[in-house]
């Protein structure tokens, strides 16, 4: 991973302040167990054959179960083995953000928004979440507004294994970025993993697939600035 997590809390209090630090500690703990970039993480040890998945921690077993659900839902376009080696990051990052939100909620916060590397879970609101424009650095392609808004973007700017087509090992073409929007508590891991899969599917199939999901809307930015952005029919109810 190696990314930036940011928190916005609209209802700060001493208890929430404490929860922020607990959330930070929780993120570090998740990183220590699941990072594919740390040689001593559980995921790395299994990926390198030093440990068996059969002996995995309950936490990793749970993550693998969720990954399997997304893999089935997406017809194999999401995989916890994106390069043939264990790497459930595509689920873990969003799940880590959800955990941070949960700690803030338990401390009494009802108004916060957590961003993990460009993927956002918000609680309360309404919140205004910008979608970065791949063609105009520093500008926004769209602004989404809603309560409990969840926004995840996959794109060619990601340099991670998880944007490869798990079927071919190749980078997908036909899309610059694909954003999925949803709403509700603890929705980011699901939404983010689905964004990864839909991006890998490409523009036509990805949009069609997202359109069939009852709880997801999509915005696709194509690789040519002359081409219009495309979205699923329900996307506009989130857009400003």
The C-alpha atoms of residue 25 and residue 31 are separated, in whole angstroms, by 10
The C-alpha atoms of residue 52 and residue 64 are separated, in whole angstroms, by 13
Task: Give the residue with the Cβ less far from other proteins, 41 or 205.
Answer: 41
Minimum distance of other proteins from residue 192's CB (angstroms): 10
- Using CB under 8 A, which residues numbered 107 to 126 contact other proteins? 113, 115, 117-120, 122
Minimum distance of other proteins from residue 209's CB (angstroms): 19
8 A C-beta contact, residue 155 and residue 134:
yes
Binder to other proteins among 45, 51, 83, 156 (CB under 8 A)?
Answer: 156
Across the beta sheet with 149-155, what order do the strands follow?
112-116, 119-123, 149-155, 177-183, 217-221, 230-231
Task: Give the residue with the Cβ less far from other proteins, 49 or 138.
Answer: 138
The answer to whether residue 21 forms part of the interface with other proteins (CB under 8 A) is yes
8 A C-beta contact, residue 127 and residue 7:
no
**Partners of 218 in the beta sheet?**
180
The C-alpha atoms of residue 143 and residue 239 are separated, in whole angstroms, by 6
Minimum distance of other proteins from residue 4's CB (angstroms): 6
Binder to other proteins among 152, 194, 218, 220 (CB under 8 A)?
Answer: 152
What are the residues binding other proteins (CB under 8 A)? 1-10, 12, 16-17, 20-21, 24-25, 27-28, 31-32, 35, 37-38, 113, 115, 117-120, 122, 127-132, 134, 137-138, 140, 143, 151-160, 177, 179
């Amino acid at each position: 991973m190696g990314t930036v997590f940011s928190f916005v809390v609209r209802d700060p209090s001493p208890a929430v302040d404490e929860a922020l630090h607990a959330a930070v500690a929780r993120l570090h703990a998740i990183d220590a167990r699941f990072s594919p970039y740390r040689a001593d993480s559980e995921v790395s040890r299994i990926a390198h054959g030093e440990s068996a998945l059969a002996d995995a921690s309950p936490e990793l077993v749970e993550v693998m179960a969720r990954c399997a659900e997304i893999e089935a839902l997406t017809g194999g376009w999401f995989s916890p083995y994106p390069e043939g080696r264990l790497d459930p990051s595509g689920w873990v990052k969003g799940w880590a953000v959800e955990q941070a939100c949960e700690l803030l909620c338990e401390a009494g916060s009802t108004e916060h928004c957590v961003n993990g590397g460009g993927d956002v879970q918000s609680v309360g609101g309404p919140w205004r979440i910008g979608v970065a424009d791949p063609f105009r650095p520093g500008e926004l392609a769209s602004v989404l507004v809603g309560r409990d808004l969840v926004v995840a973007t996959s794109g060619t700017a990601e340099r991670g294994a998880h944007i490869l087509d798990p079927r071919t090992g190749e980078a997908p073409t036909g899309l610059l970025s694909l954003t999925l929007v949803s709403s509700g508590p603890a929705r980011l891991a699901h939404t983010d993993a689905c964004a990864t899969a839909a991006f890998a599917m490409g523009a036509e199939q990805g949009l069609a697939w997202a359109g069939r999901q009852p709880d997801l809307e999509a915005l696709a930015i194509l690789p040519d600035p002359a081409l219009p952005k495309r979205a699923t029919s329900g996307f506009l109810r989130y857009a400003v």
